[in-house]
Amino acid sequence: MVLPRVGQSIRLHFTGSSEEEQDLGVYKSRITDMTEELASIELPTSENTGRTGVFRPGTSCLVWYIGEDGSRYEFRSSIVKRESGHLPVLLLPLPKKEEIVRTQRRNYLRIDAALDIAVKHQDPLRRYHFLAKTMDISGGGLSFSCDESYRLREKDVLQVWIALPRKNGNVQQAYAELEIVRQKAPAEKGLHQWISGKFTKISEQDRVKVVRACYERQLELRQKGVED
């Protein structure tokens, strides 16, 4: 299982030791530093009020976060102490990796994006190899449009190489095998057909690249005021 990383947002459900503070509610925070045994986190703020609280040493909590594979992970911990420096932080013991539990796999964020892809079909009678543009993409699959002369059908498995631009201007490559789940013929002669598929084979490293690119694109759109 995967530990959270420095800079990652986390959620904490605190439970106090006394009866009157048995349930302190859910707070959000961010990891500022980590050692092999401890994580330091920003002072948590309540998701309901936006205010921080008084968290005494020994206060138990359930910590959860979203991994780069899109799954939710959680573990139990407790406050060791509070440190006051330039920014006050709380210290939490980190669990052993086998103590981290993956509780659910959430749906991958899907964004509209025109990314360059290379597509290859290995069928003996349809040995296609062409370039196309995606219409949308997520960590679980993508859709693209292409010329109707490519006779693609549902259940076909394609090889796809995806060009993923990063915020720093670099371009990463990701490779996947894509099973077509839907093919829509063009509305008129001469227009492109629409293909939608799911990844049936992709390395976790390449899936992380896709997921990261989707979140960077969403953040970029939000900063431009395109999305709420």
Q: Show me where the domains of the chain are located.
A: 9-105, 111-223
Q: Which of 33-37, 42-46, 91-95, 188-192 has the lowest mean pLDDT?
A: 188-192
Average pLDDT estimate for 2-7:
86
Q: Which residue has the higher pLDDT, 20 or 134?
A: 134
Q: What percent of the chain has pLDDT over 70?
A: 89
The tokens for 78 are: 């407790």
> How confident is the model at residue 19, as a pLDDT?
44
CA distance 142 to 138: 6
Does the predicted TM-score (pTM) go above 0.75? no
Q: Which fold has domain 111-223?
A: Thrombin, subunit H (2.40.10)
The burial class, CB within 10 Å (0-12 / 13-18 / 19+), for 58 is: exposed
Domain 9-105 CATH assignment equals 2.30.110.10: yes
Please answer whether residues 190 and 184 qualify as being in contact, where contact means their C-beta atoms are separated by less than 8 angstroms: no
> Which amino acid is it at 211?
V
- Whether residue 209 has pLDDT greater than 90: no
CA distance 13 to 25: 6
- Whether residue 55 has pLDDT greater than 90: no
Kind plus residue range of the DSSP H or E element containing 223: helix 204-223
- Whether residue 123 has pLDDT greater than 70: yes
Tell me, what DSSP letter sits at residue 67?
-
pLDDT digits (tens, 9 = 90+) for 62-114: 898 877 666 778 899 999 999 887 889 999 999 998 889 876 555 677 888 89
Of 99, 105, 120, 96, nearest to 207 by C-alpha is 105
- Whether residue 44 has pLDDT greater than 70: yes
Q: Which of 21-30, 48-57, 160-169, 197-206 has the lowest mean pLDDT?
A: 21-30
> Which amino acid is it at 162?
I
pLDDT digits (tens, 9 = 90+) for 180-195: 999 988 877 778 899 9
> How confident is the model at residue 170, as a pLDDT?
84
